[in-house]
Amino acid sequence: MHSCMLPAFVPAFRFSNLHRFSNRFSHDFILAGLGSHLKTNSRRGEATYGASLDGNKAHRKARLAPPRRAMISLMIVHEARVRVRYAETDQMGVVYYANYLIWMEVGRVEWCKKAGFVYRDMEHEDGIYLAVVEAQCRYRHPARYDDEVLVKTWDAENSPRSIRFQYEMRRASDERLLAEGSTRHVFCNKEMRPTRLPAKYHALFGLAG
């Protein structure tokens, strides 16, 4: 595997919790602006609606639900390279499907280094683990022995409690798409209980809010 040649940060922004509806006719609007400072402004208020009962109009008030803080994250994109070993192919001469999940792991470990930390150190020093709770892969074209594969990894969704990575795997010679997938992880402590990501890692995971 070779070191990544792409820049560490790609200027792509995600917004979460921009618009939510509740079952009590209440809603939140959170407007997020980008500038020298990242600010979110929300306002609590009241909404009224009318209901007619037996010909009489009755007005009810529904208080807006407390707004959730908008989380803005700077997406980090990283590209790693792997070369298909003979042992990774099956009887049909193509890469065995489970090996793509291993390449995803290679991609996200290198993503961590590009973000500015070593995942091993996060486990040993802070007792924080990235537990996989969901994995998905869609296979587009077979890879074969000695192919060089580009594993592109980026953080699709970030929060202090979980992260979702997206992956694209392409053949380096012609950039043919081989597979694409995702994994979702929750941050856990040494007792394997869900926990929050320590604040010192927020900037490294591109979290701001």
Report the catalytic residues.
90
- The helix or strand, by DSSP H or E, that contains position 184, with its residue range, turns out to be strand 177-188
Residues 101, 169: contact at Cβ < 8 Å?
no
AA letter at 93 = G
| Burial of 158: CB neighbours in 10 Å, binned 0-12, 13-18, 19+ | buried
Q: What one-character-per-residue DSSP string does 105-124 give? A: HHHHHHHHHHHT--HHHHHH
